[in-house]
Amino acid sequence: MAVADRERWDSRHAVAGAGVAAPPDALRGREDLLPTGGRALDVACGRGTVAAWLAGRGFTVDAVDVSPVALASGAALEPRVRWVLADLDAGLPAACAGPYDVVVCQRFRDPRLYPALAAVLAPGGLLVLTVLSEVDDEPGAFRAVPGELAAAFSDLETVVHDEGNGTATLIASRGPGVAPGSPPGPPDPS
């Protein structure tokens, strides 16, 4: 990311001030889908409201963002999270190799990261994504095309897939015992 872009994010986070712990939008009213504990990753975590909420639910959380201002705000909110400063243009940082029982990425879209997000998801793990979408909205470089999330994560089991009003949401799970990149199992004889 260009320095000017990072500085723009820093300014936005500085103006926004401290956040409040909150579940990912996609899990509101669906908190029962969350695994009972383990490791969680929040990708492009911003001021860390979701990461803090996950820590409050007992997860050991790694949270990544390019903005030191955002991470400082997150650290003030929840010191138990491991706040990782990294530019996701270079992929997921080595410090976030997983496996994770929950991977959240909310309001940040980079299709180049999709394989890495799937790869760090543990067997039985839950992926929770919300991105801007072209569905019911304008086309744009930061918006998912129709069906993008479902296609990118077709190896996972879809739990929720919604597109509309300019937003796309995917909640998907990796079956227990299914390692990332495993070929599909034999057909069910029944």
Chain residues that interact with ligand SAM, rule: CB under 6 A: 1, 9, 44-46, 49, 65-67, 70, 87-89, 106-108
Considering the complex, what minimum distance in angstroms separates the CB of residue 178 from ligand SAM?
A: 27
Question: Are 101 and 124 within 8 A, CB to CB?
Answer: yes
Distance, CA of 56 to CA of 61 (rounded, Å): 10
Long-range contact list for 8-15, CB < 8 A, 24+ apart? Answer: 9/66, 9/67, 9/69, 9/70, 10/67, 10/68, 10/69, 10/70, 11/69, 13/46, 13/47, 13/67, 13/69, 13/70, 13/73, 14/69
Considering the complex, what minimum distance in angstroms separates the CB of residue 47 from ligand SAM?
A: 7
Closer to ligand SAM by CB, 70 or 149: give it.
70
Closer to ligand SAM by CB, 34 or 178: give it.
34
Considering the complex, what minimum distance in angstroms separates the CB of residue 132 from ligand SAM?
A: 9
Which residue minimizes CB distance to ligand SAM? 46
Considering the complex, what minimum distance in angstroms separates the CB of residue 151 from ligand SAM?
A: 22
Closer to ligand SAM by CB, 5 or 157: give it.
5
Closer to ligand SAM by CB, 88 or 171: give it.
88
Angle, helices 49-56/68-77, rounded to nearest 10 degrees: 30
